[in-house]
């Protein structure tokens, strides 16, 4: 630029200079125009994109660890759940028409034969299969069998003990046919509750020594759907101040650290409810 300026200063401008300048300007404009348009087009298209619809429609109850299970999984899997609080609505005609079992959590999906699905483990299995989430639910038959076994053992053995031990304190209705649901003397109900609490230690040790077997999680180095189900279940034990073994405390802390907000946010609702219940009991 400095050389051009010097030459221009020594030589007078010719008549051709304006024409040359005009041609140069025209060429520059012609070249620049497509570049500006090309760069601007994608930005305009990006703004026109419709809002992403939630991948999962979930009806849930915030204080429940069964519901917490699916809430944690959906977040950890990046499924962007659209949650509806079903508190007080599970017996409504509209809800019962879709879900005669009146249970939560419940997801809605057009791909399902009846449009809805309940039971936390079944929901996680379905969503993991549908979206190819092998990280949480491996396809290898042997590994998958261990995840399934852990969840079924939890639902069939550990959770009934946890329910009998914690539901009286949580204010949740107990299952028909059990002492807690009967007209038995309060002492008998208290005995049953203490017996359930004492029974929790055995299945807990099974999870520790058999299903984890020296690994950080049931799923290995990363949490599986069985780990999410177990971690959520253990949250309820805080309401009766159950003395968890050291490994269980470390396990729950590691699970929350690994899953971050995906775990902490739904867990916060359960913990908040437990804190409220305990404060009411002291009042």
- Which CA distances in Å does 62 have to 35, 42, 70, 75, 172? 53, 42, 11, 15, 13
With a cut of 80, say whether residue 34 has pLDDT above it: no
Which tokens belong to 132? 């190819």
The string of pLDDT tens digits covering residues 47-84 is 555 556 567 899 999 999 999 999 999 999 999 989 99
pTM flag (> 0.85): no
CA distances to 9, 57, 183, 198, 276 from 187, in Å: 110, 43, 11, 16, 25
Angle at alpha carbon of residue 192, lines to 187 and 197, rounded to 5°? 125
Q: 41: exposed, middle or buried (C-beta count within 10 Å: 0-12, 13-18, 19+)?
A: exposed
Residue pair 162/237 in contact (Cβ under 8 Å)? The answer is: yes
Quick one: pLDDT band at residue 283, thresholds 50, 70, 90? confident
The per-residue pLDDT for range 101-155, each reduced to its tens digit, is 999 999 999 889 999 999 999 999 999 999 999 999 999 999 999 999 999 999 9
């Amino acid at each position: 630029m400095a050389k051009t300026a010097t030459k221009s200063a020594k030589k007078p401008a010719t008549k051709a200079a304006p024409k040359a300048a005009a041609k140069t300007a025209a060429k520059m404009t012609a070249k620049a125009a497509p570049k500006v348009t090309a760069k601007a087009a994608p930005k305009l298209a990006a703004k026109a994109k419709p809002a992403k619809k939630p991948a999962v429609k979930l009806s849930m109850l915030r204080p429940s660890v069964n519901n917490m299970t699916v809430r944690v999984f959906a977040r950890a899997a990046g499924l962007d759940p659209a949650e509806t609080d079903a508190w007080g609505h599970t017996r409504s005609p509209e809800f019962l028409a879709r879900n005669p079992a009146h249970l939560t959590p419940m997801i809605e999906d057009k791909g399902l034969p009846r449009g809805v699905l309940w039971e936390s483990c079944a929901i996680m299995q379905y969503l993991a299969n549908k979206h190819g989430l092998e990280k949480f639910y491996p396809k290898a038959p042997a590994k998958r069998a261990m995840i399934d076994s852990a969840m079924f053992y939890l639902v069939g053995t550990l959770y009934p003990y946890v329910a009998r031990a914690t539901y009286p304190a949580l204010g949740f209705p107990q299952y028909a046919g059990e002492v807690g649901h009967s007209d038995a003397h309060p002492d008998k109900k208290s005995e049953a509750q203490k017996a359930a609490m004492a029974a929790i230690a055995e299945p807990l040790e099974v999870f520790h020594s058999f299903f984890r077997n020296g690994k950080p999680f049931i799923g290995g180095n990363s949490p599986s759907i069985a780990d999410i189900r177990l971690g959520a279940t253990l949250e309820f034990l805080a309401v009766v101040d159950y003395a968890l073994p050291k490994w269980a405390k470390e396990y729950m802390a590691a699970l929350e650290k690994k899953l971050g907000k995906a775990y902490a946010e739904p867990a916060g609702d359960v913990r908040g409810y437990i804190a409220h219940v305990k404060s009411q009991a002291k009042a």
